[in-house]
């Protein structure tokens, strides 16, 4: 089984999640505004633990997974980004979630770009999607900055509508 990648940018390190990320990720997932577009409700500590376990399990099954976004200068966990393709997804996805205290700093764009570049260089794909709810304007702006465009819409994606933004190599 391959080792999880460590991807570094000027400000960020994307790396595998570990159990010690639980407190920081639980704080991020407890924020109602952050979670509004990711299942509509905040997650408690136990649900967050299961999310981390799911990311680790996805890596074991697929050889890649969503990665923790860590700030290089401080070591602070800022969110998550990376490749994701569980059963039932329309195609390989790269998404991003950033701590609400750190939005509007370009973190999602930087992490999303690093994740996409890694996918194109390592997974042999020419297209990657981002599944974004139509009213998630901040994520739509990030997708646009990354060069994606809406290809189609899923009318029932986990209880809501999602646009499929496609990024091409």
pLDDT for the residue 151: 97
With respect to residue 150, please indicate whether it lies within any of the assigned structural domains.
Answer: no
Neighbour order of strands in the sheet with 77-84:
7-8, 12-15, 67-71, 77-84, 93-98, 127-132, 160-168, 149-157
CATH of the domain at 21: 3.40.630.30
Residue 2 reports pLDDT greater than 80: no
Condensed to tens digits (0 to 9), the pLDDT of residues 111-148 reads 999 999 999 999 999 999 999 999 999 999 999 999 99
Alpha helices in the chain (DSSP H): 22-29, 32-35, 45-62, 107-122, 137-145
With respect to residue 162, please indicate whether it lies within any of the assigned structural domains.
Answer: no
**pTM exceeding 0.75:** yes
With respect to residue 113, please indicate whether it lies within any of the assigned structural domains.
Answer: yes
Show the tokens assigned to 90: 């329309």
With respect to residue 145, please indicate whether it lies within any of the assigned structural domains.
Answer: no
Condensed to tens digits (0 to 9), the pLDDT of residues 22-59 reads 999 999 999 998 898 887 799 999 999 999 999 999 99
* Cα–Cα distances in angstroms (integers) from residue 71 to residues 56, 65, 75, 164, in the given order: 20, 19, 5, 29
With respect to residue 161, please indicate whether it lies within any of the assigned structural domains.
Answer: no
pLDDT for the residue 1: 53
Residues pairing with 82 in the sheet: 95
Counting the structural domains of the chain, the total is 1
With respect to residue 28, please indicate whether it lies within any of the assigned structural domains.
Answer: yes
With respect to residue 96, please indicate whether it lies within any of the assigned structural domains.
Answer: yes
Tell which residue, 111, 153, 120, has the closest CA to residue 12.
Answer: 111
With respect to residue 151, please indicate whether it lies within any of the assigned structural domains.
Answer: no
- Under 8 Å between Cβ of 61 and 70: no
pLDDT for the residue 8: 98
Parent domain of 64:
7-125
- Under 8 Å between Cβ of 150 and 142: no
pLDDT for the residue 3: 85
Condensed to tens digits (0 to 9), the pLDDT of residues 90-110 reads 999 999 999 999 999 999 999
């Amino acid at each position: 089984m391959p080792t999880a990648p460590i991807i570094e940018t000027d400000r960020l390190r994307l790396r595998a999640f570990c159990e010690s990320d639980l407190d920081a990720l639980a704080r991020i997932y407890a924020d109602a505004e952050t979670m509004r577009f990711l299942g509509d409700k905040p997650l408690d500590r136990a649900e967050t633990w299961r999310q981390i376990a799911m990311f680790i399990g996805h890596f074991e099954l697929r050889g890649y997974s969503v990665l923790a976004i860590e700030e290089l200068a401080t070591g602070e966990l800022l969110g998550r980004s990376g490749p994701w393709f569980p059963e039932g997804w329309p195609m390989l996805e790269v998404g991003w979630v950033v701590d609400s205290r750190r939005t509007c700093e370009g973190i999602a764009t930087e992490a999303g770009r690093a994740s996409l570049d890694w996918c194109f260089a390592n997974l042999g794909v020419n297209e990657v999607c981002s599944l974004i709810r139509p009213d998630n304007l901040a994520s739509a702006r990030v997708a646009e900055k990354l060069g994606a465009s809406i290809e189609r819409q899923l009318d029932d994606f986990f209880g809501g509508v999602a646009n499929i933004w496609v990024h091409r190599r």
